[in-house]
């Protein structure tokens, strides 16, 4: 039974859940994800496993409520059971020991970068984390990262927390300071990952990104999550979710993410109507 | 003792009207009413050689169950069927009887064969309606444990057979519903999912344990099934779970699907009920499905039902070479599918939003036979033409999913990732590991997978109960 053990709101529409899942927890490595479904008519959606508690047999996920499925998930409470939970899926992050790594998280991407940063530190790496968000309300896991990595730099678009600017500004500032990195890991909205790669490419710094295409089965059976990496076809669910950022065709992925825009909007409209009606009747 | 011939042709299967059914997902073939089933069963002359039985991959006692139907002993017929086939409602619908039992039928030499498949379906559906159950108790528990990877036809069959022998069986299924290709691949209008669920409930009643959402190769490796979970044998039946895309421009545009994805969205995730179901799919107005097998037929008929004004089947050879069941091709054409033969896509063209706008094709002519014995298609230079489509579905073959291959390095496979297994026993070269179905043969039929499951169950039973004194050897079983 995949019962919810803990629920915490981290930011507007961003919820962290701890969920029972001993057989997933015992196997899970940083970088892997689960596929979740919350109802009989529900979609299968992929979510990164942000953290694990092997003693307790539990995993945590951080969910940004953007559309019907994620909003429905965020409505659940402690004690509710998740209908379907499959994992751990995808390949583990390749973490090299003693590496100097810059981990960059943009918005909800920080939830994906956090386990990678933990993994790097566990292998005696030196890790600087850059955490970016639109405003201070959208900065997540700062406290958790401070407890693990060597340095945390916060950036916000409006300057309400940390330095005003983009994560790439902070990265460039670090490089200008003379910092060197063996690897940069960047996870966030596609334009952000693309921008980080633009900074690191001329410097030849290995850059790993984690991709978030649409998925259905998550086991390599349908090809829905296919992306082009270095001109080759890869399935994010079995070959990824992490890839060499220098080789990813971000524009193609951005286009494919728009495949169901109309349907998503219609579904969300109905969901919002339902929520509004419930508010009136309760 | 042979009987007189009562009727030279088969009794027709009642079908949903072609125009109506092209717009709904309800079952196309409605099934024989009782009297028609009895009439059809009475056509069987109970010939003394019964060549039909040898044509059946699971060795059903065909003359016996047909005689029982002719005598209106439907419960008896059901028991006869269930003795050799745990999924009769499924086989009665999707088996290519015209290539198996019916093609060997004695009556079929001069006239139309007995409609064995239709009668089988009738018995299974009747049994379900009046709630006959197969009350044969399984053998006493042996204490042995077997893990089955995959809940498609091969996995379900091997599990049922082993459970009846008294072994403890657990099926591990990666998706959230059991059934494999029976739920995600074959559409509702050919195989209602309630029927599949009913057959699977039957398995649970005889003690088979099914664990969904367990991805072997990720959640547990094959080795961990032995070392951590204590299973003594493993049967791998993971099917044809890898899509094939051609190497042409435009395959990553919005609107291009593998048949696996297109069918999974519709069949498993019920996208045709969106927004009641949360999973969307593209309801293309002009859809091209590439391929000529049953999967292509399923995809193109699904496209019609999703609202396509034009549903094209684009195939590089001719009707004669199409591997699809003739019945499916006929039903598809009745429904309005337009078959374009001797054509293949060379590029998919985009609009300004990276969505499919058109497909460029080239005409083919048939040349020398290839390794499959079919004449090879040869592109005719300069014959390119475009068709306006907004959706393209590739149903050009499904391969072996890599998850097991990547995590079981000592399991020998061929260059396409198919597991090497003995044809008669399913034994692989890894001790205790057996395999069957599409993961071994490449994409084939439900019934051939079931036959593989049946043969492997016998071999696994021998392996568990008579282990070789010298250690395991594939030739022992």
Q: What is the pLDDT of residue B476?
A: 43
pTM: 0.94
Cross-chain Cβ contact B280/A255 below 8 Å: no
Range with the lowest mean pLDDT among A165-169, B37-41, B403-407?
B403-407
- Per CB-CB distance under 8 Å, the chain A contacts of B266 are none
Count CB neighbours of A275 within 10 A: 11
ipTM of the complex: 0.95
User: For residue A193, what are the CA distances in angstroms to A20, A33, A208, B342?
Assistant: 32, 19, 9, 45
Size of interface A-B (CB pairs under 8 A): 118
With tokens 């088996």, the residue in question is B95
Tell me how close the Cα of B133 comes to any Cα of chain A, in angstroms.
Answer: 28
- End-to-end distance of chain A based on CA atoms, in angstroms? 30
Question: In which band, very low, low, confident or very high, does the pLDDT at B473 lie, cut at 50, 70 and 90?
Answer: very low
- The number of beta carbons lying within 10 Å of the beta carbon of residue A158 is 10
pLDDT above 60 (res B99):
yes
Please tell me the distance from the alpha carbon of residue B211 to that of residue B200, in angstroms, as a whole number. Answer: 12
CB contact under 8 A, A222 and B219: no
Whether B273 has its CB under 8 Å from any CB of chain A: the answer is yes
Confidence of residue B137 (pLDDT cuts 50, 70, 90): confident
Looking at the DSSP bridge assignments, the partners of residue A227 are A234
CB contact under 8 A, B252 and A226: yes
Number of CB atoms found within 10 A of residue A215's CB: 21
Using a CB–CB cutoff of 8 Å, tell me whether B227 touches chain A. Answer: no
Of B372, B318, B311, nearest in space to B342 by CA: B318
Our measurement of the distance from residue A202's CA atom to the centroid of its chain's CA atoms, rounded to an integer in Å, reads 26
Within 13 A of A245's CA, how many CA atoms are on the CB side? 27
Which positions 43-102 of A are in contact with B (Cβ < 8 Å)?
A: 43-44, 68-69, 83-89
What CA–CA distance (Å, rounded) separates B138 from B294?
Answer: 35
Shortest Cα–Cα distance, A183 to chain B (Å): 26
Q: Are A187 and A112 in contact (CB under 8 A)?
A: yes
**A42, A87, A88: residue with CB nearest B278:** A42
- From the list B218, B279, B401, which residue is nearest A87 (CB)? B218
Ramachandran category for residue B152: left, alpha or beta (phi over 0 → left; psi -120 to 50 → alpha) = beta
Per-residue pLDDT band for B2 (boundaries 50, 70, 90) equals low
Confidence at residue B6, expressed as pLDDT on a 0 to 100 scale? 80
A277 touches chain B (CB under 8 A): no
Question: Residue B85: pLDDT band by 50, 70, 90 thresholds?
Answer: confident
Chain B: residue whose CA lies nearest to A86: B213
CB interface of B with A, residues 167-196, below 8 Å: 174-176
Contacts with A258 from chain B: Cβ below 8 Å:
254, 353-354
Residue contact B402–A238, C-beta within 8 A: yes
Q: Which residues of A touch B213 (CB under 8 A)?
A: 84-86
B220 contacts A23? CB cut-off 8 A: yes
Tens digits of per-residue pLDDT, B346-382? 999 999 999 999 999 999 999 998 887 888 999 999 9
pLDDT for residue B468: 63
Supply the pLDDT for residue B167. 97
CA-angle at B180, arms to B175 and B184, nearest 5°: 80
Tell me the pLDDT band of B477, cut-offs 50, 70 and 90: very low
Q: Does B400 touch chain A (CB under 8 A)?
A: no
Instruction: Please write the tens of the pLDDT for every residue from B107-122.
Output: 999 999 999 999 999 9
User: Is B299's Cβ below 8 Å from some Cβ in A?
Assistant: no
pLDDT of residue A258: 96
Is the Cβ–Cβ distance between B299 and B309 less than 8 Å? no
Q: What does the pLDDT read at residue A236?
A: 98
Q: What is the mean pLDDT of chain B?
A: 93
Is the CB of residue B172 less than 8 Å from the CB of residue B216?
yes
Higher pLDDT, B340 or B136: B340
A252 in contact with B at a CB cutoff of 8 Å?
A: yes
Say if B265 is an interface residue toward chain A (CB within 8 Å): yes
| Alpha carbons B359 and B391: distance in angstroms, whole number | 9
Count of beta carbons in the 10 Å neighbourhood of residue B345: 23
Short-list A134, A140, A142, CA closest to A166: A134
pLDDT value at residue B475: 46
Chain B residues whose CB is inside 8 A of the A31 CB are none
Determine which helix (DSSP H) or strand (DSSP E) holds A171, and give its type and residue range.
helix A167-176
Maximum separation of any 2 CA atoms in chain A, in Å:
60
Mean pLDDT within B193-204: 92
Q: Which of A224, A233, A256 faces B261 most closely, judged by CB atoms?
A: A224
User: In terms of DSSP bridges, do strands A226-229 and A232-235 run parallel, antiparallel, or are they unpaired?
Assistant: antiparallel
Taking each helix axis from N to C end, the angle separating B74-84 and B62-70, rounded to the nearest 10 degrees, works out to 170
- Going by C-alpha positions, the residue among B149, B410, B217, B234 that lies closest to residue A27 is B217
pLDDT-above-70 percentage for chain B: 97
Angstrom CA distances, A32 to A254, B87, B97, B218, stand at 22, 37, 45, 10
Say which of A41, A220, A227 has its CB closest to residue B276: A41
Map residue A126 onto helix, strand or coil: strand
Asked if A153 contacts A131 with a C-beta cutoff of 8 angstroms, the reply is yes
Tens of pLDDT, residues A187-201: 999 999 999 999 999
- The residue ranges of chain A whose pLDDT is under 70 are none
């Amino acid at each position: 039974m995949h019962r919810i053990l803990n629920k915490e709101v981290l930011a507007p529409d961003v919820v962290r859940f701890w969920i029972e899942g001993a057989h997933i927890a015992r196997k899970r490595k940083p970088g892997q994800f689960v596929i979740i479904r919350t109802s009989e008519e529900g979609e299968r959606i992929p979510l990164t496993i942000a953290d694990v508690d092997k003693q307790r047999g539990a995993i945590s996920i951080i969910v940004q409520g953007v559309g019907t499925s994620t909003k429905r998930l965020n409505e659940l409470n402690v004690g509710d059971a998740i209908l379907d939970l499959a994992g751990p899926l995808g390949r583990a992050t390749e973490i090299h020991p003693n590496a100097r790594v810059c981990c960059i998280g943009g918005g909800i991407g920080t939830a994906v970068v956090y386990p990678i940063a933990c993994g790097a530190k566990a292998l005696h790496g030196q890790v600087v984390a850059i955490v970016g968000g639109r405003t201070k309300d959208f900065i997540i896991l700062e406290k958790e990262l401070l407890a693990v990595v060597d340095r945390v730099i916060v950036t916000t678009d409006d300057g309400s927390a940390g330095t005003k600017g983009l994560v790439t500004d902070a990265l460039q500032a670090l490089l200008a300071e003379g910092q060197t990195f063996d690897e940069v890991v960047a996870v966030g909205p596609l334009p952000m990952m693309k921008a980080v790669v633009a900074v690191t490419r001329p410097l030849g710094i290995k850059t790993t990104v984690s991709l978030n295409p649409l998925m259905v089965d998550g086991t390599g059976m349908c090809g829905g999550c296919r992306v082009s990496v270095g001109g080759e076809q890869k399935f994010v669910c079995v070959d990824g979710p992490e890839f060499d950022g220098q080789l990813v065709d971000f524009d193609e992925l951005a286009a494919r993410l728009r495949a169901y825009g109309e349907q998503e909007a219609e579904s969300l409209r109905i969901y919002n109507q339902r929520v509004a009606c419930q508010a009136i009747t309760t | 003792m042979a009987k007189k011939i009562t009727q030279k042709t088969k009794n027709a299967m009642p079908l949903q009207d072609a125009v109506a059914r092209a717009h709904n997902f309800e079952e196309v073939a409605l099934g024989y009413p009782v009297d028609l089933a009895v009439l059809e069963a009475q056509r069987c002359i109970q010939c003394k050689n019964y060549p039909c039985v040898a044509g059946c991959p699971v060795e059903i006692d065909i003359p016996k169950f047909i005689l029982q139907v002719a005598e209106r002993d439907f419960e008896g017929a059901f028991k006869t069927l269930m003795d050799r086939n745990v999924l009769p409602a499924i086989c009665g619908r999707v088996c290519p009887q015209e290539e198996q039992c019916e093609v060997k039928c004695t009556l079929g030499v001069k006239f139309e064969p007995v409609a064995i498949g239709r009668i089988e379906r009738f018995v299974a559906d009747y049994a379900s309606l009046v709630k006959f159950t197969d009350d044969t108790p399984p053998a006493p528990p042996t204490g042995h444990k077997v893990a089955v990877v995959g809940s498609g036809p091969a996995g379900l069959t091997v599990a049922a057979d082993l459970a009846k022998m008294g072994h403890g069986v657990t099926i591990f299924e990666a998706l959230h519903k059991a059934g494999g290709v029976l739920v995600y691949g074959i559409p509702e209008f050919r195989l209602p999912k309630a029927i599949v669920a009913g057959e699977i409930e039957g398995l649970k009643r005889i003690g088979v344990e099914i664990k969904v959402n367990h991805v072997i190769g990720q959640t547990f490796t094959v080795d961990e099934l032995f070392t951590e979970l204590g299973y003594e044998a493993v049967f791998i039946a993971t099917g044809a779970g890898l899509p094939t895309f051609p190497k042409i421009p435009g395959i990553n545009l919005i609107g291009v699907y593998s048949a696996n994805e297109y069918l999974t969205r519709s069949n498993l995730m019920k996208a045709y009920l969106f927004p009641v179901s949360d999973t969307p799919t593209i309801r293309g107005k002009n859809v091209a499905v590439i391929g000529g097998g049953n999967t292509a037929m399923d995809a193109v008929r699904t496209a019609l039902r999703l609202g396509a004004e034009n549903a094209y089947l684009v195939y590089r050879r001719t009707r004669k070479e199409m591997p699809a069941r003739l019945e499916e091709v006929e039903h598809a054409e009745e429904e309005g599918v337009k078959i374009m033969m001797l054509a293949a896509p060379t590029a998919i063209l985009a609009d300004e939003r990276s969505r499919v706008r058109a497909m460029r094709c080239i005409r083919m002519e048939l040349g020398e036979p290839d390794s499959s014995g079919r004449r090879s298609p040869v592109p005719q230079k300069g014959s390119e033409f475009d068709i306006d489509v907004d959706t393209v579905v590739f149903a050009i073959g499904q391969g072996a999913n890599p998850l097991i291959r990547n995590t079981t390095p000592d399991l020998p496979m061929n260059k396409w990732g198919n597991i090497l297994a003995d044809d008669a026993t399913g034994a692989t070269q890894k001790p205790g590991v057996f395999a069957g179905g599409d993961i071994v043969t490449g994409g084939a039929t439900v019934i051939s997978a079931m036959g593989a499951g049946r043969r492997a169950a016998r071999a696994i039973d021998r392996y568990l109960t008579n282990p070789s004194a010298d250690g395991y050897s594939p030739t022992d079983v």
